Structure 1
Amino acid sequence: MNPADYSVAWEHPPTRRAWWKQLVLCLISPVAWIALWFALLAVLVVFMPEGYGYSILFAPFLIYSFYRAYIQLFYIAVVWRTRRVLRVYPWHLFTDSPNGLGDRTDVVGQQCGWFEFPNPARPEEQLPMVFPSHWAVGWWHRRMAPRTKAVIKAQIRVVWLAGDPRFIGVIAAPTSNGTAPRRFRFLTQQMEKTEGYQSVTDWGATAEDIERGRRAGVNSGRS
């Protein structure tokens, strides 16, 4: 069951199962964090003696649990965007793709780590794609860090990409047996446009490529 044999990633059964698992976790997480917030508040109000000392002690935990519940609500939208990309693009498997955590001068906007993938129109040309948000990318960051042990880095030696490096994509790490994806994360193209690259057509994107990107959720203004 080679994931690259399917016309789009969504047709790959393990991919659909992995996506549904991620959606369920995203729906459960806000409820769990909110429940924890109320539980901590109940312990503070009902069981702890009166006084500012206990309030100060519990405050960081209350704030953190509320923050986690808040950002999980936003991440649900990202999960649906992931599905949209998976329904348009097939999986491509890459080995030893260049990656890093430092900011790149040729990328604009927020960047929280990057991977490079070959331009579909010119495979010899590598294009950087970045994590557009820091939410829930800690697993990837730990494996991309320069001082990470080789055995840990090996978990992202092979990465799956559904998307087009000129536009948008979803990256995943394979499971230990290499048959299913895990840790879906969004990647976007945010290279600074220079005189040599005024639009994606300069990267060899055809009208069909641009339309495909729009169906995957790319803002038409980026083309």
Structure 2
Amino acid sequence: MLMNVIGQAGWVAAFPGLLYVMVVFTSQAYVLIFVPFLLYSLYRAVMQISYFSWAARMRCILQEYPWQIIKEIPRGLAKHPEATDEAAWFEFRDPDHRERKVPLVFIRHQRAHWWLKRIGNVRTKPALKAEIEPLWFAGDPRFLGVIAASTAGADEPRRLHVLYQRPVFDSGRPLDTRGAGIADVDRARRAGARYLDGISQSPA
């Protein structure tokens, strides 16, 4: 959240700052050089606002679910055969049915470049892939969760990112919970999941 506040202040200040430099100190011949930077700073100032809601969602998830450290978790950039969205993914085990595989897809690509680069493919350097091995995870893959990495030898989670099943935040799609109990659904709702009222529930 602190980084979001700093980023918001920085990008808000960047636009008038660049505009002032362009008007006061730059000749007309160089105005076009500043236009892309002005537009980008305005874009980032607007986009930065959306990060606050995701930081709040992350906090709700972490208040409800403890961290797990998972080794050798399957991952990929191509579409997962059991996912409806075509994007990079991590594959988790169903908490109640360990034989079932549950993919969590990177639906939002904002701030995901770091992760996508390390999920990689056969040509990705092993040193990069090792930065997300093991993986930190807090959540229920049937609904939503937070992933994190231990970077630079740190012994605590870094680079936190929210992953979720699209129907959790999209009322127009059905959510496949396959055996999630009432307690599981209620816990996911407390963690910030939405649109769970219409799904079938089985006793925990």
Fold shared per TM-score above 0.5: yes
Q: Is the 8 A contact 1:102 1:113 kept in 2?
A: yes
Letter in 2 for 1:139: W
* SS in structure 2 of the partner of residue 184 of structure 1: strand
The number of equivalent residue pairs is: 191
Matched, 1:69 2:45: yes
1:215 pairs with 2:182: no
% identity of equivalent residues: 39
- Quick check: 1:92 aligned with 2:37? no
- Is residue 133 of structure 1 aligned with residue 111 of structure 2? no
Which residue matches 1:155? 131
1:45 Cα shift? 0.2
- Which among 182, 192, 195 is matched to residue 158 of structure 2? 182
Tell me which residue corresponds to 1:10: none
What TM-score, normalized to structure 1? 0.79
**Cα root mean square deviation, aligned:** 2.0
Counterpart-to-counterpart distance in 1, 2:5 and 2:101: 36
More helix by share: 1
Residues in 2 aligned to 1:198 and 1:183: alpha-carbon distance in whole angstroms: 28
Q: Which one of 123, 139, 147 corresponds to residue 98 of structure 2?
A: 123
Deviation by residue 1:23-66 (Cα, 9 ceiling, x = unmatched) = 1000110110121222211111001113xx42221111111111
Cα distance in structure 1, aligned partners of 2:27 and 2:153: 53
Q: Match for residue 170 of structure 2?
A: none
Counterpart among 7, 15, 25 of residue 37 in structure 1: 15
**What SS does the corresponding residue of 2:136 show, helix, strand or coil?**
strand
In the alignment, the residues of structure 2 paired with residue 221 and residue 181 of structure 1 have an alpha-carbon distance, to the nearest angstrom, of 32
Partner of 1:48: 26
Deviation for aligned residue 1:135: 0.8
In 2, the alpha carbon distance for the partners of 1:142 and 1:132 equals 16
What is residue 26 of structure 1 aligned with on the other side? 4
Local SS of the residue matching 1:117: strand
Structure 2 residue runs without a partner (length 5+): 168-173, 200-204
Checking the alignment, whether the CA contact within 8 Å between 1:171 and 1:187 is kept in structure 2 is: yes
1:78 corresponds to which residue? Answer: 54
